[in-house]
Amino acid sequence: MSKNSINRRDFISSAAVMGAAGTLGAGAMLTSCGGPKESPLVPLRPQSEWKIPKLYEGGVLPDKADDGRELKVGLIGCGGQGTGMLSNLLRAANGIKVVALGDTFQDRIDRCREGLRRAPFNVEVPDNMCFTGFDNHIPVLQAGIDIVIIVTPPAFRPPQIKAAVDAGKHIFMEKPLCVDPVSARTLLSLGRQADAQGLCIVTGTQRNHQRRYIESYKQVQSGMIGDIVGGEVYWNSGQLWFNTKQPQWTDMEWMIRDWVNWCWLSGDHIVEQHVHNIDVFHWFSHLKPLRATGFGSRQRRPTGDQFDNFSIDFTYEGGVHLHSMCRQINGCTNRNFERIQGTKGVWFGGDGGNVQRIEDFNGNILWQYDLEKEEAEFEQRSPYVLEMVNWVNHIRRGVHINQTEETTISTLAAIMGRQSAYTGRDVTWDEIMASDMNLVPDVLEFKNMDWRTLYPVPVPGSVNQPPRPQQQQQPRPATPPAS
């Protein structure tokens, strides 16, 4: 990969941004407490290189997707998140037919079906189109579907994505896309294969489809904060859900049902959750991460082998630094925001993205997104629905979109930060790209195991990476579990 460019595929370079609402011209005026003064804005890059949705027409994302040909959808991963994503698709577009459901566990399929039966969906998926077990994604992909939603634990996504690309399906896949560098390289290759096949792939980085973030991006690219010189991204929240082991569960079943707390399944929360904030910085800056220097620890997590806090200093091209912080501990101050520092001002996306503004160095507001106007003009404001609107519109209009590469790069940067905290060492981009780390066990089966030995909590300074489970040397099946 070039050292001078992040080399993210320009899947959403937009020639359609001309005339989009809120774009500042070169003669815009900046104001400060000293009164207005002329400061011509210098765009950071040509509008043809801006990474906003191609279908962002007239300055707005539509509330609902275009009507058009019926799209038959399959869902792989019927937990709460997967069921929610399918519900968002049904809200986003007419003419969607739910054909098949797949999950490792029958109880999750049962809950998903029950939700689909209720208003406003009133959808019934027949028994013979519901598939369980480790290979459930195969019959889903063979069920005559056009599009597929993949919302399984991150460890299982790469082979399921490969099967979907090989089957020629348009894909919505949740972030992060993987948990280790070996899988990341596979995904980069799959992204190129999907391009060649003309498949439309959207990932769950919903901020890329959220009106307020798109407008903020336009202001930053127009030059309002000047050249980007640094930033901060935080996701400090309370403890997430967990499941204690039940007597009837094998250790493998317990881990899958408790997946968000195990590194080999989720990638740890810097990868599984905080990747959203890291991706925003990549999107706005167009910069490549070069090095991660960080630390973290485990204080109060009740299950799994993960840390519950990370603090990472990312070094980017040109000496730009990003401070990344995330925490999942109850009883602490919660903060979820992105802040980008420029030579002329600061962009701030705070309160989980609800507050979007640009300030000068004296704290004067130069620009602020009009949230009340959005609420008055648009019925649909959920970014989770809007990303589905954008996906369906690309499919129905025959316009290519593929977020695989850029989301893989953000995922890999988060993995780089995780490994720095786990080991206590600096980790470079070149090292993580060349790493042979593969966290997924070679053999996936419901069995008990000595998980305390196989999955110890990393101790910085004493390990180079989380130990990989020692398995008998058997070929890995091509059918990982979904959940």
| Cross-strand pairs, 349 | 338, 356
With cut-offs at 50, 70 and 90, classify the pLDDT of residue 97: very high
The C-alpha atoms of residue 460 and residue 12 are separated, in whole angstroms, by: 39
Radius of gyration of the chain (CA): 22
Residue 431 has what pLDDT? 96
Residue 20 has what pLDDT? 34
| Region 194-219 average pLDDT | 95
Output 264 or 480, whichever has higher pLDDT.
264
| Cross-strand pairs, 367 | 358
Cβ count near 139 (within 10 Å): 17
Share of the chain above pLDDT 90, in %: 83
pLDDT in tens, 124-152: 999 999 999 999 999 999 999 999 999 99
- Supply φ then ψ for residue 381, to 5 degrees: -120, -5
Indicate the range of 51-65, 297-311, 411-425 predicted with least confidence: 51-65
Q: Is the pLDDT of residue 385 over 70?
A: yes
One-letter amino acid for residue 260 of the chain? V
Residue 11 has what pLDDT? 25
With cut-offs at 50, 70 and 90, classify the pLDDT of residue 58: low
pLDDT in tens, 145-189: 999 999 999 999 999 999 999 999 999 999 999 999 999 999 999
Share of the chain above pLDDT 70, in %: 87
With cut-offs at 50, 70 and 90, classify the pLDDT of residue 27: very low
Residue 55 has what pLDDT? 77
The C-alpha atoms of residue 477 and residue 103 are separated, in whole angstroms, by: 17
Residue 37 has what pLDDT? 52
The C-alpha atoms of residue 137 and residue 135 are separated, in whole angstroms, by: 6
Q: What's 457's DSSP letter? A: P
The C-alpha atoms of residue 315 and residue 230 are separated, in whole angstroms, by: 9
Q: Report all structural domains of the chain as residue ranges with CATH numbers, in order of start.
A: 15-25+42-228+241-324+379-483 (3.40.50.720)
Please report, for the chain, how many H helices and E strands are present, in that order: 15, 17
With cut-offs at 50, 70 and 90, classify the pLDDT of residue 470: very low
Nearest of 132, 31, 112, 95 to residue 482 by alpha carbon: 132
Q: Which two tokens stand for residue 157?
A: 């996504």
From residue 204, alpha-carbon distances to 154, 208, 210, 265, 279 in Å are 12, 9, 12, 17, 11
Residue 443 has what pLDDT? 86
Q: Is the pLDDT of residue 35 over 70?
A: no
Nearest of 62, 114, 112 to residue 91 by alpha carbon: 62
Q: Is the pLDDT of residue 23 over 80?
A: no
Residue 52 has what pLDDT? 87
Output 467 or 299, whichever has higher pLDDT.
299
Indicate the range of 46-55, 186-195, 359-368 predicted with least confidence: 46-55
